[in-house]
Amino acid sequence: MSDKPLNARERAYLQPAIVYGWEIEISPTRKTPLWQGDVLTPVKVGPLAEALVAKGYLEKVLPSEIYTWSIRATEKAKALQCRKCWGHSRLYNDEGQDIGRCPDCDNGVAVNPIGGEK
Residues that bind Zn ion (CB under 5 A): 82, 84-85, 102, 104-105
Question: What's the closest the beta carbon of residue 116 comes to Zn ion, in angstroms?
Answer: 10
Q: Which is nearer to Zn ion, 38 or 117 (CB)?
A: 117
Neighbours of 76 (CB within 10 A): 13
Q: Which is nearer to Zn ion, 25 or 104 (CB)?
A: 104
Alpha helices in the chain (DSSP H): 8-15, 47-54, 75-78
Q: Give all strands of the β-sheet with 24-26 in edge-to-edge order.
A: 34-35, 24-26, 68-73, 58-65
Question: What's the closest the beta carbon of residue 32 comes to Zn ion, in angstroms?
Answer: 30
CA pair distance 1, 22, nearest whole angstrom:
26
Question: What's the closest the beta carbon of residue 105 comes to Zn ion, in angstroms?
Answer: 3
Question: What's the closest the beta carbon of residue 52 comes to Zn ion, in angstroms?
Answer: 20
Q: Which is nearer to Zn ion, 51 or 92 (CB)?
A: 92
Would you say 70 and 28 are in contact if contact means Cβ atoms under 8 Å apart? Answer: no
Q: Which is nearer to Zn ion, 14 or 102 (CB)?
A: 102
